Amino acid sequence: MKLFGTDGVRGKAGDFLDAITVLKLAKAAGIYFRKHSTTKKILVGKDTRRSGYMIENALVSGLTAVGYDVIQIGPMPTPAIAYLTESMRCDAGIMISASHNPYEDNGIKFFDNHGDKLNTDCEEAIEAIFNDSELMQTEQVTGRNIGASKRIDDVIGRYIVSIKSSFPRDLNLSGMRIVLDCANGAAYKVGPTILQELGADVIVVNNKPDGFNINEDCGAMHPEYIGKIVREYRADIGLALDGDADRLVIIDEKGEVVDGDKLIGALCNYLNEQKLLKGNGCVATVMSNKALEDYLSSKGIELFRSNVGDKYVLEVMKEKGINFGGEQSGHIIFSDTAKTGDGLASSLQVLALILKSGKKASEVLNPFELYPQILHNMKVTEKIPLDKIKGLEEILKPIREKGIRDLIRYSGTENKIRLLLEGKNKKEVEDAMETLKSFFKKVL
């Protein structure tokens, strides 16, 4: 059974992710973490989905069955679990969330004792244990060795202090009117508290989760919702989080969504000017617009690219000794502050940038123009390896000679091929895409 995807284990709650599967997964993870255990404690948090109750209880059962004590902290952002796992000296942390997905889905993300997401090798090791029925049976414990669980409700304060400490001490948010969309998710308590304690006038929306309304027509997936509210209340900025608050989308004072690549560029240049950028570089994914690369290059900053997924961004950041990176989708990583994408930590850095610039959000977060980019998805009958497709290189050669960047890859979950082209001349990009679509229609 294949469990792990690009970001932990994710699927329809009660179907792929049912109680029995979760219990087995918890036992397998517990057996794996136990090899290097120092505290015999694992932290468990969740977002606001109704299915979180089922999954949380199954996780507790599986972990205690192999001797772990479990600390349950209830609804908290994913980056809070990463931070608290290390802060509370736990062997591991587990977040129950399907991020920006609808309420029907749920997921399980694992963090090691340093608060880092598990790499592929660790995930494969857990999956191997999961599929070893004999080992799963023999590694269960009995008697006094069975673990216990307890719920702690006051750790929210630790995370709030940690996020607030990342905001420059010489600044405050007094006089700023901010619209915050919590997506009816995990940040519905902590988000408003942080902004209000820093002095902002906060208009909070979608902070009444009912177990089913997480991400529903709101949050980072639907930022147009608070665009209207920003205009109506004449706010300085809008902040839209997703269900587990690891993603951030910015809406400027005009009510318009700020492009993710432009946001990365503006923040990276800000860090560089403040002499806070390490490694003289930035990490983005293969999906980021080349205009970002050219903009950073003009500032003397090198752009490195990773695979799609914030954990891959972080891997390249560590490899290159860089403390800033992100995805155009809104996962922004300030590794000096957070172990993973953190919508609230990123929000404070954006607000600091605006305050220090003395400009409006629409000015300071629009540092360059994007190159025309076209993304097209095509259904395929078979995922033939790209290097085995005859004629592909011959088709791409003249496209690349025109300075057009291409990214061709298969979907990891569907029978689809994803075609991305970008270049400075829109007509050339459009013509090249028609050529590619026609080619793949014939061969796939």
Look at residue 7 in the predicted model and tell me its pLDDT. Answer: 84
Percent of the chain scored above 90 by pLDDT? Answer: 91
Residues facing 257 on adjacent strands: 251
Judged on CB neighbours under 10 Å (0-12, 13-18, 19+), 169 is exposed
Percent of the chain scored above 70 by pLDDT? Answer: 99
> Is the CB of residue 341 less than 8 Å from the CB of residue 326?
yes
HSE-up (13 A, CA, CB side) for residue 442: 10
DSSP conformation class of 380:
-
| 297 in active site | no
Identify the band that residue 413 occupies on the pLDDT scale cut at 50, 70 and 90. low
Q: What is the pLDDT of residues 257-273, one digit of tens each?
A: 999 999 999 999 999 99
Identify the three-state secondary structure at position 310.
Answer: helix
Identify the three-state secondary structure at position 181.
Answer: strand
Query: Both tokens of residue 252?
Result: 């400027």
The CA distance from 325 to 310, in Å, is: 9
H or E stretch at 11: strand 8-12
Sequence-distant (6+) residues with CB within 8 A of 133 are none
Q: How many residues are recorded in the chain?
A: 444
Mean predicted lDDT score pLDDT of the chain: 95
**Mind giving me the DSSP string for 237-271?**
EEEEE-TTS--EEEE-TTSPBPPHHHHHHHHHHHH
The CA distance from 329 to 309, in Å, is: 10
Look at residue 415 in the predicted model and tell me its pLDDT. Answer: 84
The CA distance from 99 to 109, in Å, is: 10
- Give the angle subtended at the CA of 267 by the CAs of 265 and 271, to the nearest 5°: 115
Look at residue 316 in the predicted model and tell me its pLDDT. Answer: 96
Least confident of 24-33, 149-158, 246-255: 149-158
Q: What is the pLDDT of residues 361-407, one digit of tens each?
A: 999 999 999 999 999 999 988 899 999 999 999 999 999 999 999 99
- Residue spans of alpha helices (H) in 110-179: 120-130, 133-138, 156-164
The CA distance from 176 to 200, in Å, is: 5
Which is catalytic among the residues 51, 97, 99, 306? 99
The CA distance from 127 to 296, in Å, is: 40
Sequence-distant (6+) residues with CB within 8 A of 226 are 179, 181, 205, 238, 240, 251
> Is the CB of residue 109 less than 8 Å from the CB of residue 7?
yes
Look at residue 434 in the predicted model and tell me its pLDDT. Answer: 95
Orientation angle between helical segments 51-65 and 19-34, nearest 10 degrees: 40
Q: What is the pLDDT of residues 330-359, one digit of tens each?
A: 999 999 998 899 999 999 999 999 999 999
The answer on pLDDT for 12 being more than 70 is yes
Query: Both tokens of residue 403?
Result: 């300075």
> Is the CB of residue 431 less than 8 Å from the CB of residue 399?
no
> 286-299 b/e with 16+ CB inside 10 Å = b?
ebbbbbbbebbeee
Look at residue 1 in the predicted model and tell me its pLDDT. Answer: 65
Phi then psi for residue 247, to 5 deg, are -125, 145
Q: What is the pLDDT of residues 273-312, one digit of tens each?
A: 999 999 999 999 999 999 999 999 999 999 999 998 888 9
